[in-house]
Structure 1
Amino acid sequence: MGRNANGRSSIYKGADGYWHGRVTVGVKDDGKPDRRHVKSKSKSIVTGKVRDLERLRDKGSLPKAGQRWTVEKWLEHWIDNIAVPPRISENAHSGYRVDVEKHLIPGLGAHRLDKLTPEHCEKLYAKMQDRGLSAGTAHHVHRTLRNALNVAVRREAVGTNPVLMAAAPRLDEEEPEPYEIDEIKRLLKVAQSQERNGARWVLALALGLRQGEALGLKWADVDLATGMIRIRRGRLRPKYAHGCGAKPCGRKSGYCPQREQTRPETGRTKSKAGRRTIGLPTPLIRLLEAHRDKQTAERDQARQLWSEGGYVFTKPNGEPLNPNTDYHEWKSLLAIAKLRETRLHDARHTAATVLLILGVPTPTAMAIMGWSSASMATRYQHMSDAIRNDVAARVGGLLWEPGQDRDEDDEDPPEEAEPAA
């Protein structure tokens, strides 16, 4: 039998008793032909493998020759070298790292990257939920793995992304119920009566600032003369390392007496659209002026203990507020106002609903809320009872005359007269 032409695939039986297949798929970095090899005791199996290699080669989706990545090695490379700040935010990176180290590497790390299947992913999601983890946590892991393998495909470390074919965990999120107008007024009244940082909640409810945006706001970003604030940064959740040296304290790093902050106080906003300028209502300008005066008095009283960071909302010593402390203060505020419990982020939903009630155009609402796309409006603007009642009144005024209880067509027809004898 003559030899195949250069570059052609070949299938042959070797002296070792195995069938071998060789497929030329391209050129290596050193200029030599990239010729892949498969083998099996079955000729039909080798033939199928050769055809698969040829199909992937022709589609341009065959991984490069070289290191055979495992899922663990790729995820470690991705989280340590690719998905890192400043390419992504500090908070996003922290979320990715938790998913990678706590769920993905223990659950899928041993698989070869090019052997990972959609079924492997789906089994991991099911096991997570069987252990009592929420569908939201499993869905976040799904998104993290999808993003990591999308990069692997672009860099030709793997041919296809199996996560795109995997069934994502189903999210049954409860629809947020924003506060009604009367409830918002009650909440604002309680917030303004607070001795410290009451204006922080007024900003959240009136302007829809995210938690990080409000806590990262500095006086340099506030122009009370023109009634404008500029959103430029967000407060990051603190992250600590042990500072106890050779004698470990035995506690978690966050509770170490000599703990050291390893993360900056603030980072960039969630998106480019988040960097925005917002006009302040006059009552809010007056409230911020009063808040500034109170803070000046606190600074004078603290003297050398004051840590000047320029933040609008601070601890009594001038340091920025901790997001966890801020969360508990929100819960306390709701209890004082005797309102139902909601998430802190629901204050943002409430602000979006106020914009809807006022009939603010979507482009303007996007600029105020810091949305990156108009589709966000459908996620944040919700029908409240005030809106439903307004719509009901308009429909009633359109279809019924004042004082008319029912349609004339619904009235009983008059009885016909008896025919004359």
Structure 2
Amino acid sequence: MTNPAKSRQPNGASSIFQGKDGRWHGYVTVGVKDDGSPDRRHVGRKTRTAVTKAVRDLEKQRDSTGVRKAGQTWTVETWLTHWVENIAAPNVGENTIDGYRVAVYHHLIPGLGAHRLEKLEPEHLERLYRKMQTNGSAAGTAHQVHRTVKTALNEAVRRRHLTINPASVAKAPKVEEEEVEPYTLEEVQRLLAEAAKVRNTARWVIALALGLRQGEALGLQWEDVDFEAGVILVRRGRLRPRYQHGCGDKCGRKPGYCPQKINVRRETKDTKTRAGKRPIGVPDELLGLLRQHKEKQDRERALARDLWVEKGYVFTSPTGEPLNPNTDYHRWKDLLKAAGVRDGRLHDARHTAATVLLILGVPEAVVDRIMGWEPGKSARMRRRYQHLTGQVLQQTAAKIGGLLWGPKPHVLEPAPGGPVPGPSKTSVPAEPRVYVALLGERRIPFLHREHADAVASQWGADHPGHPAENEEWDREKWEDKGKGGIRAIRDRMPDRRIVHHAQAVFLPGGERLNIGRNDQWSVTAWEFETDLYTDLPVRWHTTRRPGQEVEAQVRGTDQKAVTAAFAEACAQAVDRAKNPGEYGDLAG
């Protein structure tokens, strides 16, 4: 058979011809090579009809999704290895790359690595996800693998090693997002009471009260704490250490357990978003705890002497090193057990703090600022972190009832041993005036005159002979000059109850000091009288005074529990007086 004459096609046009081998050949220009020359692809078939179809298919692919770039033939293994080490690693954070490496080396390469990259199908991925879950992996782990391979293959598409991303077509494993149950107020108070007995007390108060992430709390340095302004500046996060062998891999252990292990990761990194870098107002009670914590750290520094490594962290090991996140996690679990509180993640403390802000009616913009949520994502984060507790639902029902049927009449009679009822316990709009109850040396600002009047009247009855009256302030004046500013203004009646106290003081040798009065007594205390008040059944602690005496203090609403705890507190105080070094104290 005579070959038909080949006519020359215009530059860039596809060509079809029969070669000397009897097969039909086609060439299609699909782009330009790196050196600037045309990138022409060849297809060969037995018949003209078949090669024509192949040429037209290649042209359609070129004109729609694009044609895979010529050059190296990638397998899934070679591409994922190249992507994770050379593309992702220099451009993402340490924690992110750790997650990528686990997905790539533990799941994707063992399961799919032998496939040619362009031959990978969505069904291959879906079978891998099912196999992972059948073998015991959680749906969340399979979903993380899906997100990782999707990101890696998106990069392959951008670089024209693939024309489409099969992971974009594959169905991701379904993850059931469990509703997190935040800790109740009672559980939080039990945790705080137990935290007062352990080292780094303020660490747990910060988690429950301010909702800082674990890395943010462990990354705090003293330069971030402004005691005068009452503000903490969040600007960095603690990273999990990553170790390498310092013994040349001769010890036979994992790097983290090597006696000569070397940490090859920096200790902290800046917050990952602009919203994450934020100032947070700190309650006066927490500022007081931080001051006490700083004093204790100063004593630890003096005891450690040359062993102390000064790095400026707020929460440290006994030698000044930043806390390891893994150790911190186990301390949290110990705290839950000691407090008799249900088990939960450390991150649940953040959910709890966010829910407290919801209960308090804090404006959404302020919540976003405190929690460090980015604009545009904050609504989704609020849905995830803020939970509709019974208190929120009750407040909402009360507001609906007040709107439809009018406000209920309010009784202002004081209730001995309990809270004084008042006009409202819900958040209210800002008023131009503030009503300040003058209670001896204290000034307690209220949003409602009725609250200030009721508190002054009852406090005066509790403390005969002491002045108790009210003043009316301009709100802006109080916010500018009043103690505590806007944060101190109360829109509800404070709690009032009988609190039982016990106190004893011991000399350095353990001898009990006569303090000149009964060691147990009871008082009626309001919640703003922080030196007297508690709503817990019992709480106690021991402290060393500047003169080296050790003081045992107990308070609580349950008199029998206070008496029982007093014996335990005194026993610890005697031991602390005799053995100051075991408690991190400086012996005089």
Q: Quote the Cα distance in structure 2 between the aligned partners of 1:16 and 1:356.
A: 79
Task: Return the offset for 1:19.
Answer: 3.8
Tell me which residue corresponds to 1:79. 84
Equivalent in 66, 71, 84 of residue 71 of structure 2: 66
Equivalent in 221, 227, 231 of residue 228 of structure 1: 231
Letter in 1 for 2:279: T
Q: Identity of paired residues, percent? A: 61
Q: In the alignment, is residue 35 of structure 1 matched against residue 40 of structure 2?
A: yes
Runs (5+) with no aligned partner, structure 1: 404-421
Q: Quote the Cα distance in structure 2 between the aligned partners of 1:281 and 1:64.
A: 60
Letter in 2 for 1:104: L
Tell me which residue corresponds to 1:219. 222
Superposition pairs for residues 188-207 of structure 1, below 5 Å? 188-191=192-195, 193-207=196-210
Equivalent in 284, 290, 293 of residue 292 of structure 2: 290
Equivalent in 217, 223, 237 of residue 240 of structure 2: 237
Task: Return the offset for 1:279.
Answer: 1.4
Letter in 1 for 2:353: A
Q: In the alignment, is residue 385 of structure 1 matched against residue 390 of structure 2?
A: yes
Task: Return the offset for 1:367.
Answer: 1.2
Tell me which residue corresponds to 1:250. 252
Provide, for residues 85-121 of structure 1, a one-character-per-residue CA deviation record: whole Å limited to 9, x for no partner: 4x32111111111111111112222222222221121
Tell me which residue corresponds to 2:313. 311
Provide, for residues 110-159 of structure 1, a one-character-per-residue CA deviation record: whole Å limited to 9, x for no partner: 22222222112111111111111111001001111111122222222222
Q: In the alignment, is residue 184 of structure 1 matched against residue 170 of structure 2?
A: no
Higher normalized helix content (fraction of residues): 1
Q: Quote the Cα distance in structure 2 between the aligned partners of 1:349 and 1:48.
A: 60
**Cα gap change, 1:46/1:235 in structure 2, threshold over 3 Å: closer, same or farther?**
farther
Q: Quote the Cα distance in structure 2 between the aligned partners of 1:15 and 1:66.
A: 27
**Cα gap change, 1:273/1:51 in structure 2, threshold over 3 Å: closer, same or farther?**
farther
Higher normalized strand content (fraction of residues): 2
Check the 8 A contact 1:227/1:279 in 2, yes or no. Answer: yes
Provide, for residues 249-306 of structure 1, a one-character-per-residue CA deviation record: whole Å limited to 9, x for no partner: 1111111111111111112223332111111111111111111111111111111111
Check the 8 A contact 1:180/1:386 in 2, yes or no. Answer: no
Task: Return the offset for 1:356.
Answer: 0.9
Q: In the alignment, is residue 160 of structure 1 matched against residue 200 of structure 2?
A: no
Tell me which residue corresponds to 1:259. 261
Check the 8 A contact 1:233/1:275 in 2, yes or no. Answer: yes
Secondary structure at the residue paired with 1:273?
coil
Tell me which residue corresponds to 2:106. 102
Q: Quote the Cα distance in structure 2 between the aligned partners of 1:380 and 1:48.
A: 56
Letter in 1 for 2:103: D
Q: Quote the Cα distance in structure 2 between the aligned partners of 1:48 and 1:202.
A: 71
Q: Quote the Cα distance in structure 2 between the aligned partners of 1:47 and 1:170.
A: 44
Q: More displaced, 181-190 or 359-368?
A: 181-190
Q: Quote the Cα distance in structure 2 between the aligned partners of 1:234 and 1:96.
A: 20
Secondary structure at the residue paired with 1:263?
coil
**Cα gap change, 1:379/1:199 in structure 2, threshold over 3 Å: closer, same or farther?**
same
Task: Return the offset for 1:180.
Answer: 1.9
Provide, for residues 357-392 of structure 1, a one-character-per-residue CA deviation record: whole Å limited to 9, x for no partner: 111222211111111222211111111122123233
Task: Return the offset for 1:190.
Answer: 2.3
Number of corresponding residues: 400
Q: Quote the Cα distance in structure 1 between the aligned partners of 2:48 and 2:203.
A: 73
Check the 8 A contact 2:65/2:164 in 1, yes or no. Answer: no
Q: More displaced, 208-217 or 144-153?
A: 144-153
Q: Quote the Cα distance in structure 2 between the aligned partners of 1:239 and 1:224.
A: 34
Moved over 6 A (4+): 400-403
Equivalent in 298, 304, 313 of residue 302 of structure 1: 304
Q: Quote the Cα distance in structure 2 between the aligned partners of 1:75 and 1:45.
A: 35
Q: Quote the Cα distance in structure 1 between the aligned partners of 2:17 and 2:77.
A: 35
Tell me which residue corresponds to 1:339. 341
Tell me the TM-score normalized by structure 2: 0.65
Tell me which residue corresponds to 1:9. 14
Tell me the TM-score normalized by structure 1: 0.89
Tell me which residue corresponds to 2:530. none
Q: How big is the alpha-carbon RMSD for the aligned residues of Structure 1 and Structure 2?
A: 2.1
Tell me which residue corresponds to 1:21. 26
Q: In the alignment, is residue 175 of structure 1 matched against residue 149 of structure 2?
A: no
Q: Quote the Cα distance in structure 1 between the aligned partners of 2:47 and 2:348.
A: 62
Letter in 1 for 2:335: L
Q: Quote the Cα distance in structure 2 between the aligned partners of 1:32 and 1:58.
A: 19
Q: Quote the Cα distance in structure 2 between the aligned partners of 1:397 and 1:13.
A: 89
Task: Return the offset for 1:84.
Answer: 1.9
Q: Quote the Cα distance in structure 2 between the aligned partners of 1:290 and 1:240.
A: 34
Tell me which residue corresponds to 1:416. none
Q: Quote the Cα distance in structure 2 between the aligned partners of 1:134 and 1:31.
A: 49
Task: Return the offset for 1:5.
Answer: 3.0
Check the 8 A contact 1:353/1:380 in 2, yes or no. Answer: yes
Q: Quote the Cα distance in structure 1 between the aligned partners of 2:128 and 2:22.
A: 39
Check the 8 A contact 1:146/1:161 in 2, yes or no. Answer: yes
Which structure would you say has the larger RCO, counting Cα contacts within 8 Å and 6 or more residues apart? 1
Provide, for residues 20-48 of structure 1, a one-character-per-residue CA deviation record: whole Å limited to 9, x for no partner: 33211122122221101123446665444
Q: Quote the Cα distance in structure 1 between the aligned partners of 2:123 and 2:44.
A: 26
Check the 8 A contact 1:24/1:34 in 2, yes or no. Answer: yes
